[in-house]
Amino acid sequence: MLYSKLFGRTKHEVPADANSKNAELLTKAGYIDKLAAGIYNYLPLGIRVLQKINQIIREEMNAVGGQEILMPALQPIDIWEQTGRNKTMDEILYRTKGGEKDFVFGPSHEETVTPLVKKFVQSYKDFPLAVYQLQTKFRNEPRAKSGLLRGREFGMKDMYSFHANEKDLDEYYLKVMEAYLNVYSRCGMEAYVIEASGGAFSDKYSHEFSIKTPAGEDIMIFCEKCKFAQNLEIAEGKYDNPSSDEEEKPLKKVEVKRGKSIEENARAHSCEDWRVLKSVVYMVEEMGPIGILIRGDFQLNEEKLTRYFKKRLRPATLEELKKFDLVEGFISPVLADKKPNNKISFIADQSIKNMKNFVTGANEKDVDWANVNIGRDFEVKDFADFVAVTASFNCPKCGHKLSEVKVVEAGNIFKLGTKFSEAFDLKFTDSDGAAKSVVMGCYGIGNTRMVGTIVEASHDEKGIIWPKTVAPYLVHLMHLGNDDEAKAMGEKLYEILQKERIEVLYDDRDCGAGQKLNDADLIGIPLRIVVSKRTLAEQNIEWKERANKEAKNVKISDLVEKIKEFTNI
Which stretches of the chain bind Zn ion, using CB under 5 A? 223, 225-226, 228, 395, 397-398, 400
Distance of CA 565 to the CA centre of its chain: 35
Question: Based on CB atoms, which residue is closest to Zn ion, 74 or 226?
Answer: 226
Question: CA 208 to CA 257: how far, in whole Å?
Answer: 47
Q: Where are the extended beta strands (E) located within 387-518?
A: 402-417, 427-429, 435-437, 439-445, 459-460, 463-464, 475-479, 504-507
- The greatest distance separating any two alpha carbons of the chain, rounded to the nearest whole angstrom, comes to 97
Give the shortest CB-394-to-Zn ion separation in angstroms.
Answer: 8
Question: CA 451 to CA 25: how far, in whole Å?
Answer: 11
Question: Based on CB atoms, which residue is closest to Zn ion, 2 or 226?
Answer: 226
Give the shortest CB-399-to-Zn ion separation in angstroms.
Answer: 7
Question: Based on CB atoms, which residue is closest to Zn ion, 124 or 228?
Answer: 228
Question: Are 415 and 205 contacting, i.e. CB atoms less than 8 angstroms apart?
Answer: yes
Give the shortest CB-222-to-Zn ion separation in angstroms.
Answer: 9
CA 297 → CA 274, 278, 293, 351, 392, distances in Å? 5, 9, 12, 10, 11
**Closest C-alpha among 304, 372, 312 to residue 337:** 372
CA 144 → CA 151, 259, 362, distances in Å? 5, 39, 46
Give the shortest CB-401-to-Zn ion separation in angstroms.
Answer: 9
Question: CA 526 to CA 418: how far, in whole Å?
Answer: 46
Question: CA 117 to CA 121: how far, in whole Å?
Answer: 6
Give the shortest CB-229-to-Zn ion separation in angstroms.
Answer: 10
Question: CA 474 to CA 524: how far, in whole Å?
Answer: 10
Question: Based on CB atoms, which residue is closest to Zn ion, 215 or 229?
Answer: 229
Question: Based on CB atoms, which residue is closest to Zn ion, 239 or 309?
Answer: 239
Question: CA 514 to CA 508: how far, in whole Å?
Answer: 14
Number of neighbours of residue 10 by Cβ within 10 angstroms: 18
Question: Based on CB atoms, which residue is closest to Zn ion, 50 or 223?
Answer: 223
Give the shortest CB-390-to-Zn ion separation in angstroms.
Answer: 15
Residues 46, 50, 53: CA angle, nearest 5 degrees: 145
Report the SS3 class of residue 137: strand
Question: Based on CB atoms, which residue is closest to Zn ion, 58 or 397?
Answer: 397
According to DSSP, the residues that pair with 105 across neighbouring strands are 74, 94
Question: Based on CB atoms, which residue is closest to Zn ion, 170 or 236?
Answer: 236
Question: CA 480 to CA 231: how far, in whole Å?
Answer: 50
Give the contacts of 211 (CB within 8 A, at least 6 positions apart): 184, 189, 190, 191, 192, 407, 408, 410, 453, 456, 457
Give the shortest CB-303-to-Zn ion separation in angstroms.
Answer: 22
Question: CA 548 to CA 533: how far, in whole Å?
Answer: 24
- Name the DSSP letter for residue 394: B
Give the shortest CB-194-to-Zn ion separation in angstroms.
Answer: 14
Give the shortest CB-402-to-Zn ion separation in angstroms.
Answer: 8
Question: Based on CB atoms, which residue is closest to Zn ion, 400 or 487?
Answer: 400
* Reduced DSSP (H G I as helix, E B as strand, rest coil) percent helix, strand, coil of the chain, to 5: 30, 30, 40
Give the shortest CB-404-to-Zn ion separation in angstroms.
Answer: 14
Question: CA 94 to CA 75: how far, in whole Å?
Answer: 11
**Closest C-alpha among 127, 87, 116, 117 to residue 104:** 87
Question: Based on CB atoms, which residue is closest to Zn ion, 334 or 387?
Answer: 387
Question: Based on CB atoms, which residue is closest to Zn ion, 397 or 509?
Answer: 397
Give the shortest CB-178-to-Zn ion separation in angstroms.
Answer: 22
CA 91 → CA 198, 352, 468, distances in Å? 19, 39, 39
Give the shortest CB-384-to-Zn ion separation in angstroms.
Answer: 23
What region, left, alpha or beta, does residue 513 occupy, with left being phi > 0 and alpha being psi -120 to 50 degrees? alpha
Question: Based on CB atoms, which residue is closest to Zn ion, 357 or 390?
Answer: 390
Question: Are 479 and 486 contacting, i.e. CB atoms less than 8 angstroms apart?
Answer: yes
Give the shortest CB-217-to-Zn ion separation in angstroms.
Answer: 24
Prior bond to 128 cis, omega within 30?
yes
Give the shortest CB-227-to-Zn ion separation in angstroms.
Answer: 7
